[in-house]
Structure 1
Amino acid sequence: MWTNFFKLRLFCCLLAVLMVVVLVINVTQVEYLDHETVSATFIDSSGQFVSSQ
Protein backbone atom coordinates (compact mmCIF):
# COMPACT_ATOMS: atom_id res chain seq x y z
CA MET A 1 0.00 0.00 0.00
CA TRP A 2 2.79 2.43 0.83
CA THR A 3 4.41 1.91 -2.55
CA ASN A 4 1.17 2.83 -4.34
CA PHE A 5 0.81 5.95 -2.18
CA PHE A 6 4.43 6.89 -2.85
CA LYS A 7 4.00 6.41 -6.61
CA LEU A 8 0.86 8.56 -6.61
CA ARG A 9 2.58 11.26 -4.58
CA LEU A 10 5.61 11.22 -6.87
CA PHE A 11 3.40 11.39 -9.96
CA CYS A 12 1.48 14.37 -8.55
CA CYS A 13 4.69 16.20 -7.66
CA LEU A 14 6.18 15.62 -11.11
CA LEU A 15 2.94 16.75 -12.74
CA ALA A 16 2.93 19.93 -10.64
CA VAL A 17 6.55 20.69 -11.59
CA LEU A 18 5.76 20.11 -15.26
CA MET A 19 2.77 22.45 -15.07
CA VAL A 20 4.90 25.19 -13.50
CA VAL A 21 7.56 24.80 -16.21
CA VAL A 22 4.95 25.00 -18.98
CA LEU A 23 3.38 28.06 -17.35
CA VAL A 24 6.74 29.86 -17.12
CA ILE A 25 7.54 29.06 -20.76
CA ASN A 26 4.14 30.32 -21.92
CA VAL A 27 4.43 33.55 -19.91
CA THR A 28 7.89 34.29 -21.28
CA GLN A 29 6.69 33.66 -24.85
CA VAL A 30 3.71 35.98 -24.38
CA GLU A 31 5.95 38.71 -22.96
CA TYR A 32 8.40 38.27 -25.85
CA LEU A 33 5.63 38.45 -28.45
CA ASP A 34 4.06 41.45 -26.70
CA HIS A 35 7.42 43.25 -26.65
CA GLU A 36 7.96 42.56 -30.35
CA THR A 37 4.47 43.81 -31.22
CA VAL A 38 4.81 47.00 -29.17
CA SER A 39 8.22 47.85 -30.56
CA ALA A 40 6.97 47.14 -34.12
CA THR A 41 10.00 45.03 -34.93
CA PHE A 42 9.77 41.48 -36.18
CA ILE A 43 12.22 38.75 -37.04
CA ASP A 44 12.23 37.58 -40.66
CA SER A 45 13.02 34.06 -41.83
CA SER A 46 16.77 34.75 -41.86
CA GLY A 47 16.75 35.77 -38.19
CA GLN A 48 17.22 39.50 -38.80
CA PHE A 49 15.18 42.17 -37.03
CA VAL A 50 12.91 44.02 -39.44
CA SER A 51 11.04 47.22 -38.62
CA SER A 52 7.49 47.57 -39.89
CA GLN A 53 7.97 51.30 -40.60
Structure 2
Amino acid sequence: MDLFQALILGLVQGLTEYIPVSSSGHLVLVPWLLGWPDAPFTFEVLVQWG
Protein backbone atom coordinates (compact mmCIF):
# COMPACT_ATOMS: atom_id res chain seq x y z
CA MET A 1 0.00 0.00 0.00
CA ASP A 2 1.40 3.36 -0.94
CA LEU A 3 0.81 6.74 0.71
CA PHE A 4 -1.91 7.77 -1.76
CA GLN A 5 -3.94 4.63 -1.06
CA ALA A 6 -3.52 5.10 2.70
CA LEU A 7 -4.71 8.71 2.45
CA ILE A 8 -7.75 7.76 0.39
CA LEU A 9 -8.71 4.94 2.76
CA GLY A 10 -8.19 7.19 5.79
CA LEU A 11 -10.43 9.80 4.21
CA VAL A 12 -13.11 7.21 3.45
CA GLN A 13 -12.90 5.89 7.02
CA GLY A 14 -13.20 9.37 8.48
CA LEU A 15 -16.15 10.36 6.31
CA THR A 16 -18.11 7.16 6.89
CA GLU A 17 -17.43 6.83 10.62
CA TYR A 18 -20.35 9.04 11.64
CA ILE A 19 -23.04 7.86 9.24
CA PRO A 20 -25.07 4.69 9.89
CA VAL A 21 -23.16 2.45 7.49
CA SER A 22 -20.20 0.19 8.08
CA SER A 23 -17.02 2.22 7.86
CA SER A 24 -15.06 -1.04 8.05
CA GLY A 25 -16.98 -2.32 5.06
CA HIS A 26 -15.85 0.68 3.07
CA LEU A 27 -12.22 -0.23 3.81
CA VAL A 28 -12.91 -3.50 2.00
CA LEU A 29 -15.20 -2.15 -0.72
CA VAL A 30 -13.17 0.84 -1.93
CA PRO A 31 -9.94 -1.07 -2.72
CA TRP A 32 -11.98 -3.79 -4.42
CA LEU A 33 -13.77 -1.24 -6.62
CA LEU A 34 -10.49 0.50 -7.51
CA GLY A 35 -8.60 -2.74 -8.15
CA TRP A 36 -6.14 -2.16 -5.30
CA PRO A 37 -4.74 -4.97 -3.15
CA ASP A 38 -6.43 -5.47 0.21
CA ALA A 39 -5.26 -3.16 2.98
CA PRO A 40 -3.03 -4.86 5.55
CA PHE A 41 -4.80 -5.92 8.76
CA THR A 42 -2.57 -3.61 10.82
CA PHE A 43 -3.70 -0.64 8.72
CA GLU A 44 -7.36 -1.45 9.40
CA VAL A 45 -6.69 -1.81 13.12
CA LEU A 46 -4.82 1.50 13.32
CA VAL A 47 -7.48 3.36 11.34
CA GLN A 48 -10.20 2.02 13.64
CA TRP A 49 -8.13 2.85 16.71
CA GLY A 50 -7.25 6.37 15.67
TM-score tier, shorter chain, comes to 0.3 to 0.5
Structure with max Cα Rg: 1
Greater relative CO (CA pairs within 8 A, separation 6+): 2
Using the size of structure 2 for normalisation, the TM-score is: 0.37
Using the size of structure 1 for normalisation, the TM-score is: 0.35
